Amino acid sequence: MRVLVVEDEVPLAEAVARGLRREGMAVDVAHDGDTGLEKAMVTRYDVLVLDRDLPGRSGDDICRRLTSDGSLTRVLMLTAAGGLADRVQGLDLGADDYLGKPFAFEELVARVRALGRRATPPSPPVMTGPGGISLDPAKRVATRNGEPLDLTRKEFGVLHELLRAEGAVVSSEQLLDSVWDENADPATTIVRVTVMTLRKKLGEPQVVHTVVGVGYRVGEP
């Protein structure tokens, strides 16, 4: 899941980003409204965690712009004003959910995950693939033939994207965009190395195949 956090309180923004990354999400950060809107217009995010009161362009303006453009990005609006009128106004602007400050991080994660499920086509509760592969996104558990797989967050993310493609080829660029964040260098071999370590952990026979010059797919050995 790709998330953009737009929050001008730098310590809060960085803490939220670190926490969401620990949950396996790819997270970018902006500290003002103009930069936030620019990122949101350039990159396809599943969820936007958006502070309402921002320097430059306001969170209300960003939400209104995304809604008018028909963006599929789901918006979780944050604000220190947690009254009913504020919540209603935020939702009327096009926000999908509303969370007042201060908030419990566990609740933020739950709301982001719920919005993420609405931002993309639904996946089955437990995803299965060839060679006895099974992946439970909610529980963050992957197995092969019933044996648990000790995957890193990035390996889990890559396997999730490949299984979701249902045998179609997924390019390195697509994996980089959905599993990593904007700080990942597209010129690096990070995707290839992650796929290599994933293959080793999945064991034989191999189910993750390279399509030369195109990307990767899962299929029968």
> What share of the chain in percent tops pLDDT 90?
56
Asked whether residue 84 falls in the same domain as residue 137, the answer is: no
**Considering the entire predicted model, what is its pTM?**
0.63
pLDDT digits (tens, 9 = 90+) for 154-171: 999 999 999 989 899 999
- The domain that holds 98 is classified in CATH as 3.40.50.2300
The whole domain housing 53 covers 2-119
The gap from C-alpha 110 to its chain's centroid, in whole angstroms, comes to: 13
Say what the pLDDT of residue 191 is: 92
Mean per-residue pLDDT of the chain: 88
Domain endpoint, select from 102, 119, 136 = 119
Q: What average pLDDT does range 164-193 have in this prediction?
A: 85
Phi/psi at 54 (5° precision):
-130, 150
As a whole number of Å, the CA-based R_g of the chain is 19
Domain endpoint, select from 119, 145, 165 = 119
Query: Which residues have a Cβ under 8 Å from the Cβ of 93 and sit 6 or more positions away?
Result: 60, 63, 64, 67, 77
Asked whether residue 32 falls in the same domain as residue 48, the answer is: yes
Q: What average pLDDT does range 167-188 have in this prediction?
A: 83
Domain endpoint, select from 71, 102, 119 = 119
Asked whether residue 98 falls in the same domain as residue 63, the answer is: yes
pLDDT at 36 over 80: yes
pLDDT digits (tens, 9 = 90+) for 74-118: 999 988 765 666 666 657 778 899 888 889 999 999 999 989 877
Say what the pLDDT of residue 1 is: 84
Asked whether residue 52 falls in the same domain as residue 160, the answer is: no
Tokens encoding 25: 């999400």
Based on the structure, what is the number of domains in the chain? 2
Phi-psi region for residue 70, left (φ > 0), alpha (ψ -120 to 50) or beta?
A: left
Say what the pLDDT of residue 185 is: 72
Query: Which residues have a Cβ under 8 Å from the Cβ of 220 and sit 6 or more positions away?
Result: 130, 131, 207
pLDDT confidence bin for 121, thresholds 50/70/90? low
pLDDT at 140 over 70: yes
Asked whether residue 134 falls in the same domain as residue 35, the answer is: no
Asked whether residue 78 falls in the same domain as residue 16, the answer is: yes
pLDDT confidence bin for 72, thresholds 50/70/90? confident
* CA angle, residues 4, 184, 174, in degrees to nearest 5: 75
Asked whether residue 114 falls in the same domain as residue 133, the answer is: no
Say what the pLDDT of residue 217 is: 94
pLDDT at 205 over 90: yes
